[in-house]
Amino acid sequence: MLWQTNLPLIAIFRGIKPDEVLGHITAVIDAGFDTVEIPLNSPQWEQSIPAIVKAFGSKALIGAGTVLKPEQVDVLAEMGCKLIVTPNIHSEVIHRAVAYGMTVCPGCATATEAFTALAAGAQSLKMFPASAFGPDYIKALKAVLPPDVPVFAVGGVTPDNLSQWINAGCTGAGLGSDLYRAGQSVDRTAQQATLFVNAYREAVQ
């Protein structure tokens, strides 16, 4: 299963607390997002993820990030997660997620890692940390990857530079601290979400 959302931008809510999730995720979905990730190093993610699956699972691809172990995939599958995002390549994590019918977006930095992930069954790739490599690096790497594999830039993506990553061949991007920082207001999240949506639409015109 390849990436199947209307807007290929992943809203990453690292550090969000359970009592905050509904407000912030409503804000990004209202802005046009339909992919949401809560990293597993966020407080009480075991409460936050089921809550947003229940509230938004019918209208968005809901998932978890910083997934490091196959056993975590089992827990997330029980919660109803449909997306698994990793910072590294762990073939068994990918195998396990694919077996559950999940979309998997593993983090990679080199051609070897990218092809290892694809061989394990990954349907998309996360170039991380993107800002450390730059758009030219991703453009060069894209030249040897299968053309139908979605590549997402993650790390250092802002509304101002999003077009650089799209022009380099990325399908979309994962948006972290420039979209949401732990403790910020829902209004701030809504404002940043709108900026990102507008930047994406301008980039693909």
Choose the catalytic residue: 126, 139, 142, 202: 126
The answer to whether residue 126 is catalytic is yes
Across the range 63-87, mean pLDDT stands at: 98
pLDDT higher than threshold 80 for residue 132: yes
**Quick one: pLDDT band at residue 137, thresholds 50, 70, 90?**
very high
**What is the average pLDDT across 152-178?**
97
Averaged pLDDT for residues 77-89 = 97
The whole-number average pLDDT for the span 63-68 is 98
First to last CA, the chain: 26
Distances in whole angstroms, Cα of residue 61 to Cα of each of 35, 80, 147: 5, 10, 23
Q: Please give the model's pTM, rounded to 2 decimal places.
A: 0.96
Report the pLDDT averaged over residues 190-201.
Answer: 98
Mean pLDDT of 65-91: 98
Q: If 0-12 CB within 10 Å is exposed, 13-18 middle and 19+ buried, where does residue 181 land?
A: middle
Write the pLDDT tens digit of every residue in 102-119.
999 999 999 999 999 999
In the chain, where the domains are located? 9-204
Confidence label for 5 from pLDDT (cuts 50, 70 and 90): confident
37 is catalytic: yes
pLDDT exceeds 90 at position 82? yes
Q: Would you say residue 15 has pLDDT above 60?
A: yes
Tell me which fold the domain 9-204 belongs to: TIM Barrel (3.20.20)
- pLDDT of 73 reads 98
Token representation of residue 187: 């209004």
Q: What pLDDT score does 3 carry? A: 59
Q: What is the rounded distance in angstroms from the CA atom of residue 51 to the CA atom of residue 72?
A: 17
Q: What is the pLDDT of residue 159?
A: 98
pLDDT of residue 1: 42
Q: Which of 20, 37, 82, 142 is catalytic?
A: 37
pLDDT, mean over the chain? 96
Q: Which residue is listed with tokens 């930047």?
A: 199
